[in-house]
Amino acid sequence: MTRKLFGTDGVRGRANSYPMTAEMALRLGAAAGRYFRRDGSRAHRVVIGKDTRLSGYMIENALTAGFTSTGMNVLLLGPVPTPAVGLLTPSMRADVGVMISASHNPAEDNGIKFFGPDGYKLSDEAEAEIEALVLGEFQPAQAANIGRAKRIDDGRFRYVERVKSSFPQGRTLDGLKVVIDCANGAAYRAAPEVLWELGADVVALGVSPDGANINAGVGSTAPAAAMARLKDVGADVAICLDGDADRVILIDETGTVADGDQIMALFAARWAEEGRLKGHALATTVMSNLGLERYLAARGVGLHRTSVGDRYVVEAMRAHGLNLGGEQSGHIVMTDYATTGDGLIAGLQFLAEMVRTGHPASRLARNFETVPQLLRNVRFGAGTAPLDLPTVQAAIAAGEAKLAGQGRLLIRKSGTEPLIRVMAEAEDEGLMRAVVDEIVGAVEAAL
């Protein structure tokens, strides 16, 4: 069964435009309610969290109407990070969890992500079944069986305590000055609270959401603001989250950015030395740098590559019995602590290494030399399929031929935005840039 509504990370789009309309959110809520109430033998509940986008109010209310129409009780968490929904879904004995967020996308976008009763994101098969129910006829509950909805005031505090418990016992962040950039998003309260309660000197950035400024010039996709603040205040490290706080990048004391590949390299090597890297391997996507693969191989650590999307990383982790995985973009999944990517927990684990070793961030965040890699995005309009056109296919084939034996090429349609992503990797930077330019030019000409 194929999916049309769902992409690599739930349903996503421009707010108040298909599919991110109030009507579709209501239908998704009703469909998911029917899907998770199939046994009909007991009371059912759903937890719903959101980030700080203005459209979150509209989508939250529509989802609530959809779920309650099927007899499900709704627990509203308010603004919390995506990993908090993954945590609280099983903790609160819910049948399904929902996060309303478009992650790192601009404020005009929004999305709906579903978690199963175990706190993990739904499989492709489950999403396809829900999508089929969206297109079918509704079967509302009887009037006496309509669900209830209520606000949960302590969801953020439960999450904060769980995050703090991931930090090594007996250690503190005393003496460390940490810039935390919350992207004006879901972690704008939780992240500074965690760091302060563990003893850090906290310099907070991106903590004044107004519904329209999420990810706007701040956060993991715009590290320049945190970099400037780090230099101004002389901080030891900066932690940059995205809008829903499920991804992270780090900036060391010299102002150098460390992406998810460098963070995973540190954790994998350390955990392997300590004998706690399950499966003696990690899972990451086809986007991760070849330098990471070489670094791990030199230490006898395996690597399982997956399709792009943290959900596919987690599926590979569960299939191979791993406890560490992630994406170059900063989704770091540590199933010892969370069911999905958690930028704050990943940041804390890095800080724990700084405390344990006494090393500066720059020494811990530069673990391997990256192979030159170039990624360019081409935005396209609705209804176009530029990758299928003969001229684009010819350019891709020519690029693959030029890189044969010298690098690799990855062309894909984004699952979260209307973008064609063109990525090449090669030791010869001139060749790499030429190949990418030719393919991007072919795509733009086709559009």
Tokens 């070849």 — which residue?
A: 290
Catalytic-labelled residue, pool 55, 69, 101, 103: 103
The SS3 call for residue 408 is strand
Q: Is 55 a catalytic residue?
A: no
CB contact at 8 A, 323 and 102: no
Distance CA(348)–CA(263), nearest Å, equals 12
Measured in whole angstroms, the distance separating CA 218 from the mean position of its chain's CA atoms is 16
CA distances to 150, 320, 390 from 261, in Å: 40, 20, 35
* b/e map 93-123, b = 16+ CB within 10 Å: ebbbbbbbbbbbbbbbbbbbbbbbeebbbbe
Distance CA(405)–CA(427), nearest Å, equals 11
Selection from 278, 343, 368, 366 nearest residue 81 by Cα: 343
Distance CA(56)–CA(103), nearest Å, equals 12
Q: Which residue type does 260 have? A: G
Kindly calculate the radius of gyration of the chain based on its CA atoms and give it in whole angstroms.
22
Q: What residues are annotated to the active site?
A: 103
